[in-house]
Structure 1
């Protein structure tokens, strides 16, 4: 068994001297409502990193479907059987169009010539499921038809269909394939039958079984993991991806809406960011664009929180800025986005939303100005954004950056400056060690109750150090986050929003660790950190109530961290207790201020004796909540706190 000694403070180490017979008494005053818990308290941070969008939640199986990568045939491979004769030519229309390239196939043999696409580290194909193929094509000369195959890693056929092409004008063609076998590393083969010339573009393959069965939609199992959390908000599209390495490859929301084939493909800024995980085939098709983000938010019951570029590229890279006198187009993008989300269907941008299939407004209430910016140049630009947005849309709450760190000179400048500007929400980020999370459980206890509210926008406990490729989502990191989150929830009058980051990671395509959810072409699982987040989100209650240990808040005494809420709708007391110690601890929770309680409480417990343990594809639920029933003694809840455990206890108020 691993020990926790290396990451506990001296005060916590005393937990090891306790015996199982030492009873510690917590007190919950259920009738003293300290503060409401915001519906947005626990949410989701999404960024297209680690193949989170293309190759991840966006269910497209074809990589480089429109030949727009810097290497136009990346992901594709020419196929020739029996000395077949044919060739590929990439043509650039030379027009002012978002995606100017297409492929011209000249076929000189009646059969045996084709192309293959490898997908995103392989195509995940499931037996008996249907897969929908589409492409834009024309036949300038000759008579050529298509035979389409799905093949497994051994190049054995597991599905087939055909398409008849005709005419010299561009048309959209569709066909379906039913898979005969399950394969994690499938490929798509397209064979040309006949001779002549075929022009092709937007060659696409989607599973029929997408989220809500939307054609060209999202990967159902990944969205389900998000929906199961019942998040209060969805922040999108990131992250540093908003900024871009340079302003030329920043995220521009207007280029991500409208027809799919008119969304400009650009390189993903994470493709060569880390030398330990170069991914030169990482691009953004924007099939998952701002409309889809809004729709996803609505689907899972989350408030949408878009983050917009404020005229600054990533300050860790080029640190390019737009002169303030040239910032108007960036500010107009923000104003237009609010109209896209909230405007009537007869407004310019509201009309586009309606044409895309959503006449009703999305009811946008939150917007971020910049991502992780700092310095005077950020404040200059933030003030211009805030003035314009508040004048036209005063009800929209703005999220502002206090830099990449929770302390230090950048934070020390931005924090008081933005408070002086009466900012709405300050976005604090913490990628720190497990020990930091334990020591900072009281971080917000003394924050100004009348100042800006806090958005804990990006946080994760890093077991090996920030940016270290050896970070894993082990139980140690998740347990320290659970302890820290008692402090976030206890201070719900100050902390209105919080989200772990990053969200997704492809098992073979990741760049950054740790991450909340891991997936491959066929499977996905939640980490221990995911289950911590989920337990908080599903059990946030409506109001924080006092919970003490020996008349003090429980934030490290004997390695224990705790907080309590009530749910005034469900009429429940909700108690969260974390034991970071290496020994079991016997405790009792005395609930005061209620007339009567149910005879039994329910508990969901996360625990593991090995702090280095993590979930895997082979054991996806190795560390996951276990259900328990606790028999009350009047208004007291007897609880044995297992070593290295986090539990949520719910007691009905009668």
Structure 2
């Protein structure tokens, strides 16, 4: 994630393409020739994926379904998220105990609740901007607890509205003076997006509490203490080729002490160290001082999520450098060994046998089979000689032990400029496997750069378009919108990524999630609140491309030239070997309809029906919302194919996916394979 201020005027100055807002009259004379027998490259299964970073309450308060904020009292302010509950004065006390002098565990604090009343004293948790509770659904409460000497107090657990009205309750009694886990379930009697959790003592005495937790029973795959099902489903529906995690600048940290350390995010959740989230006060316009990482969503869960949605896991690790937009701290080269060892151990954790040290831990967590890790990122948006020095050390160690692992390196936070030029040249000279490029730019930039990869070296490193999103106002502006103008520009750019899929191996929009009341950065692909989630127009563009990706590239031309923005038209074409389909993606960014005739060359006679999936809006400011989550989504219709020709009106401001079955495509692919040995 890039967050350096930019001048919007400088970004758009010199853009050669403009949005055509005049007229709706159809333009004629557009004949597109699709040379289906002229395969010129292959499309990687990882072509379109998703990028996850814990920004905008993406993990805690988002996809990680825990409803209690600061469940283990380990935030910098131990009682953040909690308030005392009492009916009269002097009914009890809440005391945070810190055992740091005698306990080595990262979970060093617990709460002592002392009640001096017969009933009604305790504490209340506000959740993440409230708790989303749904009528009729079950919620599972758990806590580590022990009674004080001579105490045997029952505890009542209640779901309540902001006004204190009960939505469900359960009672249990901790037994003895040893820590034990207790679990009860509550069924909600009503729906409330702003519910709270209340824990009240029923009698006089003292009880110690830790890891106070509440999860919906209905999680993804019904896993206890798992992920929000609706949010994961939106990802699964995209059929992504990869999942990049855990970021982003969050990998680097504002300081090295605050960097993401994967080993601290695995094992029992009560032993995972809480860490401040680097986005909590990054932006003056959206301070979020209660933003921390509990790592209930840790590296094991990331790998598991990738497997669940059929995506290749793509972890990014710290390379011994903190975020250069913040402190820019670095580890001396002669002290880099622990960082290198973390990388080596991560590969073993993901792929090692159960007899290995880290493979055994993976198996103990419930996954004896390897996660089949093939890609690993070294650093995020670093730049300069300091990064190159550290990357070389990582590369030597990783290639020595894992020669088949594909390493992803960076060209910094910008798509051009001196930082980019230096790293692009240097990483090519080092024969890097995959180079990560990021683009947060104006919509006009995305149209202009649809040809960005046309002249890249076909024998050089592959490209990972690791973070991109159209900034409709200015980079990092809180006023950026997920509108159709931005999504349409991204679609135009993506045709360029796909036309050059022999060079571009991966691409992902960023950021992925944003909470309606807890965001720091806009725009974002999927928006959520405590009860709902919806895909933006940008999401549906990404989904259209990722669910309609081919296996082999073929040319689509007009007037013997690739369709790269002439008359505001952009296009790519591919063959799907598995389905024997020809897939055409055509984007019209102009304000007028343009008639097109698509001539399919190099295949036997094709007659009958094809399909057209289309997104369009005459309003470039159109957005989806919680009230209208499907305001702008694709629609599908049948189209006619006669004599290898498809006639179609490309509507104004539209993204069009044309699919035509052709049985002879199998022989075309077989011929290509025979000629290339692939």
TM-score normalised by L of structure 2 = 0.94
Shift, 1:81, TM fit: 1.4
Which residue of structure 1 aligns with residue 588 of structure 2? 579
**1:478 pairs with 2:484:** no
Distance 1:96 1:430, change over 3 A: same
Deviation sequence 1:252-310 (CA, Å, 0-9, x none) = 00000011000000100000000100000000000000000000000000000000000
Task: Tell me, in whole angstroms, the C-alpha distance in 1 between the residues paired with 2:516 and 2:394.
Answer: 39
What is the aligned partner in structure 2 of residue 228 from structure 1? 237
> Relative to 1, partners in 2 of residues 1:178 and 1:11: Cα closer, same or farther, differing over 3 Å?
closer
Q: Name the residue aligned to 2:87.
A: 81
Aligned match of 2:444 = 435
Please give the alpha-carbon distance, in whole angstroms, between the structure 1 residues aligned to 2:330 and 2:13.
40
Cα–Cα, structure 1 residues 7 and 163, in superposed 2: closer, same or farther, change >3 Å?
farther
Q: Distance in 1 between matches of 2:546 and 2:187?
A: 38
Distance 1:277 1:49 in 2: 12
Q: Which residue of 2 aligns with 1:110?
A: 118
Q: In the aligned structure 1, how far is the partner of 2:619 from the partner of 2:593? A: 14
CA distance in 2, matches of 1:84, 1:602: 72
Counterparts of 1:460 and 1:13, CA distance in 2: 18
Aligned match of 2:223:
214
Question: Closer, same or farther in 2 for the Cα pair 1:305/1:191, shift >3 Å?
Answer: same
List aligned pairs for 1:142-161, cutoff 5 A: 142-161=151-170
State how far apart, in whole Å, the 1-side matches of 2:548 and 2:630 are: 20
SS at match of 1:194: coil
Over residues 370-397 of structure 1, what are the superposed CA-to-partner deviations in whole Å (9 max), with x where a residue is unaligned? 0000000000000000000000000000
Q: Displacement of 1:598 after TM fit?
A: 4.0
1:29 aligns with 2:35: yes
Give the Å deviation of 1:82: 4.0
8 A contact 2:136–2:189 mirrored in 1: yes
Distance 1:174 1:234 in 2: 33
For the residues of structure 2 that align with 1:465 and 1:626, how far apart are their CA atoms? 31
Q: Shift of the alpha carbon at 1:619?
A: 0.5
Match of 2:387 in 1: 378
Once the two structures are superposed, the pairs formed by residues 178-197 of structure 1 within 5 Å of their partners are: 178-197=187-206
What is the match of residue 142 of structure 2?
134
Superposition pairs for residues 457-536 of structure 1, below 5 Å? 457-536=466-545
> Secondary structure at 2:497's aligned position in 1?
helix
Question: Aligned match of 1:555 in 564, 567, 586?
Answer: 564
Write out the 4+ residue segments of structure 1 that deviate beyond 3 Å after TM superposition.
6-19
Separation (CA, whole Å) in 2 of partners of 1:81 and 1:105:
15
Q: Name the structure 2 match of 1:3.
A: none
Instruction: Give me the whole-angstrom Cα distance separating, in 1, the residues matched to 2:152 and 2:24.
Output: 83
Contact in 1 for aligned 2:20/2:591 (Cα 8 Å): no
Are residue 61 (structure 1) and residue 67 (structure 2) matched? yes
Residue matched to 2:676: none
Inter-CA distance 154–123: structure 2 relative to 1 (3 Å threshold): same
Q: Distance in 2 between matches of 1:640 and 1:256?
A: 52
- 1:217-271 Cα deviation digits (max 9, x unpaired): 0000000000000000000000000000000010000000011000000100000
**Separation in 2, partners of 1:280, 1:36:** 47
Q: How does 1:604-623 map to 2 (within 5 A)?
A: 604-623=613-632
Secondary structure in 2 matching 1:417: helix
The residue correspondences of 1:213-612 to structure 2 (distance < 5 A) are 213-612=222-621
**What is aligned with 1:43?**
49
Q: Which runs of 5+ in 2 are unaligned?
A: 1-11, 664-678
The DSSP-based 3-state class of the residue aligned with 1:224 is: helix
**TM-score, normalization by structure 1:** 0.98
Structure 1 vs Structure 2 CA RMSD: 1.4
Q: Distance in 1 between matches of 2:576 and 2:403?
A: 31
Counterpart CA distance in 1 for 2:272 and 2:452 is 43
Change (3 A) 1:508 1:365: same
Equivalent residue of 1:335, what SS? helix
SS at match of 1:144: coil
